[in-house]
Every structure is written in structure tokens, then in C-alpha cells.
């Protein structure tokens, strides 16, 4: 199930990126930023997600529109504190594969350093995190614009 989900995400992104690359520029990011994130961590073959909070640093490259908005980011580092199945706080570190919409949403592959085994596929986890401050800024601007139109 987990492998099919990752494959579907990769295929969807590759199609959308290949279509939109013609109108956008992919450039290395010269200004890496650190952002507080929160989200969930999915362990392979486990139906329950573990909530997490942490820090994202990156991205390495951005796919930007002509107006300068970042649609897709590639690469970066992430460090999370998560709660496992028993309620124990643990750390998770990893590599961010993609970011979306001005780096507000991140998709990362993370590991728990205390339980990590290189050749064990169950050691790897998938994290989906969001930058709450950036999301509130985007949603707040949209809500303000909507109420502004209603008031006129």
C-alpha cells in the first residue's frame, strides 16, 4: 500500500511537472531558509500515522512561475520530533524530496536514528509536513480578499 502511494505521487508529480516546466524556470535556490513545520509520519506497513513537529531547511532548487512564485521545490533537510505508537517522543531526521506552493507542503523520507538499519526497508518512514505560518498567510490573504469582495 505504502509503495503504491509513493509510486502514484511520483507519477502524478512527474506528469504535472513535465507539462508545466515549459512555462517555468527551474533554478538552484541561493537563499535557503529554515521553517518550522508540523505534520504526520507514516511508517511502512503501519496504518497509523504519527504526529510530528520539526524544522525544514531548504530547498535546493525551485520551479518558479514567471511571477516569481515557487510551485515546486526539490531537496532539503528535515528534522522532526514524533510520538511513536506507545506515546514515546522520538527524533526523526531525513531528506525532503519535494516541496509544494512556496515550500508550504513538504514530502520527506525520514528515519529514526535509534532504530535505523540500512538494509531494513521498515526503518524508512514517509513524512508529510506543512508550514503552518505560511499556510495561514496564504489562507489569510485569500479570506481577506474574499471578504473584501463581499463587502463591496
**126, 2 in Cβ contact below 8 A?**
yes
pLDDT at residue 2 tops 80:
no
**Percent of the chain surpassing pLDDT 70:** 74
Instruction: Tell me the residue range of the domain where 61 lies.
Output: 2-151
Residue 102: which of 73, 75, 144, 74 has the closest Cα?
73
Residue 42's pLDDT band, with cuts at 50, 70 and 90, is confident
Residue 133: predicted pLDDT: 82
What is the C-alpha to C-alpha distance for residues 80 and 55, in angstroms, rounded to an integer? 7
**What's the rounded mean pLDDT across residues 98-110?**
87
**Which position has the higher pLDDT, 34 or 11?**
34
pLDDT at residue 151 tops 70:
no
Query: Which ranges in 1-152 belong to alpha helices (H)?
Result: 2-20, 132-151
**Which position has the higher pLDDT, 40 or 143?**
40
Total tally of structural domains belonging to the chain: 1
Residue 5: predicted pLDDT: 66
| Cell numbers that stand for 102 in this block | 512556496
- Specify which residues 54 forms β-bridges with: 37, 80
**What's the rounded mean pLDDT across residues 114-128?**
80
**What's the rounded mean pLDDT across residues 13-26?**
60
Distances (CA, A) of 55 to 10, 46, 83, 142, 144: 24, 24, 16, 26, 28
Amino acid at each position: 500500500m505504502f509503495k503504491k502511494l509513493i509510486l502514484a505521487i511520483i507519477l502524478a508529480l512527474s506528469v504535472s511537472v513535465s507539462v508545466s516546466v515549459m512555462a517555468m524556470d527551474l533554478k538552484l535556490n541561493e537563499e535557503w531558509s529554515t521553517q518550522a513545520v508540523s505534520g504526520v509520519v507514516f511508517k511502512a506497513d503501519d496504518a497509523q500515522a504519527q504526529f510530528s513537529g520539526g524544522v525544514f531547511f531548504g530547498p535546493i532548487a525551485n520551479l518558479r512561475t514567471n511571477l516569481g512564485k515557487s510551485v515546486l521545490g526539490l531537496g532539503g533537510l528535515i528534522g522532526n520530533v514524533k510520538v511513536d505508537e506507545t506515546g514515546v517522543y522520538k527524533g526523526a531526521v531525513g531528506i525532503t524530496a519535494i516541496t509544494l506552493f512556496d515550500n508550504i507542503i513538504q514530502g520527506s523520507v525520514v528515519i529514526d536514528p535509534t532504530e535505523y538499519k540500512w538494509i531494513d526497508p521498515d526503518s524508512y518512514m514517509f513524512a508529510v509536513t506543512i508550514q503552518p505560518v505560511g499556510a495561514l498567510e496564504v489562507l489569510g490573504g485569500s479570506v481577506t480578499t474574499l471578504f473584501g469582495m463581499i463587502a463591496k
